[in-house]
Amino acid sequence: MQNGMVNVGLDGTDVKILKTLLSDSRLSYRQIGKKVGISTGTVMTRIKKMEKAKVLKRYSAVLDHEKLGYELTALTEVIVSKGKLLEIEREIAKLPTVCCVYDVTGTTDAIIVAKFRKRSELSSFTKTLLAMPFVERTNTHIVLTTIKEDFATLM
């Protein structure tokens, strides 16, 4: 493991390309090459390789959810019975307000991160979870202040 990279054959140049894409995924191959100090062709080849290896899964915009009206962020602990955890997690992941689904250790089976415009949406979401077969109970935490929310800082 080098630079935190699991054995997928990435070197320092690949890491620089990834960091550049994390800062602005709209850059052209030429612009990335200029920033990293390599040719456009090399950038294209390396990005295609990382896409094929699923290191680069997709390109997306980073939204300000609060400016879009999603003022509530909820972390919901879910306890599932009868060994149906993965099936339930997959169903929960399909719900439109769900941002993250984590399979966790401890007394809780899963933690869900979801965003809502108003309390009634959160209420409906919670009732949807509780109506799912094999969901025994939930415990929801409301985020009061977001200090940091940035998945692009892992590199």
pLDDT single digits (tens) 2-41: 444 455 789 999 999 999 999 899 999 999 999 999 999 9
Domain boundary residue, one of 40, 61, 82? 61
pTM of the model: 0.79
Q: How many residues does the chain have?
A: 155
Q: How far apart are CA 77 and CA 41, in angstroms?
A: 47
Domain count, the chain: 2
Phi-psi region of 27 (alpha: psi -120 to 50; beta: other; left: phi over 0): beta
Place of tokens 């590199």: 155
Q: How far apart are CA 63 and CA 1, in angstroms?
A: 32
In this structure, the answer to whether residues 52 and 93 fall within a common structural domain is no
Domain range for 102 is 72-142
For residue 3, give the CATH number of its domain: 1.10.10.10
Confidence (pLDDT) at 150: 82
- Residue 97 CA from chain centroid, whole number: 13
Query: Rg of the Cα trace of the chain?
Result: 20
Q: What is the overall mean pLDDT for the chain?
A: 91
